């Protein structure tokens, strides 16, 4: 962390809850490359590190380039899957949908960005917008 993000280490009290290496899935006897899984007690720390990694574009570990990726819990993955059908329809209609962390749908309508954490709130919103209602009536 200090090698790649010295400013983040100074700003926040970074605590790693657990770190472990997993074997290569294709050949478990092979020593490299292996994934390193790091669990952090606070999701905001993970978000800040991933954001900094995206901005930096190149992250290294012992001077070897590595890739950082977010790992979601099964609950989060399930919640994100529930938005997929709505996401696809909105994408075809060019509403610029986004799935925000952890499972929040965001899209652009009438020049504004609207965000919803669950389908009920989205359903309430689209009843006031006839165009959106027609587009999503079969899904919601």
As annotated, the residues of the chain forming the CATH 3.30.250.20 domain(s) are 74-137
Q: What are phi and psi of 108, to 5 degrees?
A: -100, 130
Give residue 90's pLDDT band: very low, low, confident or very high (50, 70, 90): very high
Q: Which CATH architecture has domain 6-66?
A: 2-Layer Sandwich (3.30)
| Superfamily (CATH) of domain 74-137 | L1 transposable element, C-terminal domain (3.30.250.20)
> Is the predicted pLDDT of residue 18 greater than 60, yes or no?
no
As annotated, the residues of the chain forming the CATH 3.30.70.1820 domain(s) are 6-66
Classify burial at 105, counting beta carbons within 10 Å of its beta carbon; exposed 0-12, middle 13-18, buried 19 or more.
buried
Taking the whole predicted model, whether its pTM rises above 0.85 is answered as no
Specify the pLDDT at position 1: 65
Give the C-alpha distances (Å, rounded to integers) separating 14 from 2, 57, 130.
11, 21, 48
Residues paired with 100 in a beta bridge = 104
């Amino acid at each position: 962390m200090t090698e790649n993000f010295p400013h983040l280490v100074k700003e926040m009290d970074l605590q790693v809850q657990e770190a472990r290496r997993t074997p290569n899935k294709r050949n478990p006897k092979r020593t490299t490359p292996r994934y390193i899984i790091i669990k952090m007690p606070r999701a905001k720390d993970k978000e800040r590190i991933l954001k900094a990694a995206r901005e930096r574009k190149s992250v290294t570990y012992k001077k070897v380039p590595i890739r950082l990726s977010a790992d979601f819990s099964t609950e989060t993955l399930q919640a994100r899957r529930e938005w997929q059908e709505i996401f696809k329809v909105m994408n075809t209609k060019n509403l610029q949908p986004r799935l925000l962390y952890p499972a929040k749908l965001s899209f652009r309508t009438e020049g504004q960005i609207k965000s919803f954490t669950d389908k009920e709130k989205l359903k309430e919103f689209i009843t006031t917008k006839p165009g959106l209602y027609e587009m999503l009536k079969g899904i919601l």
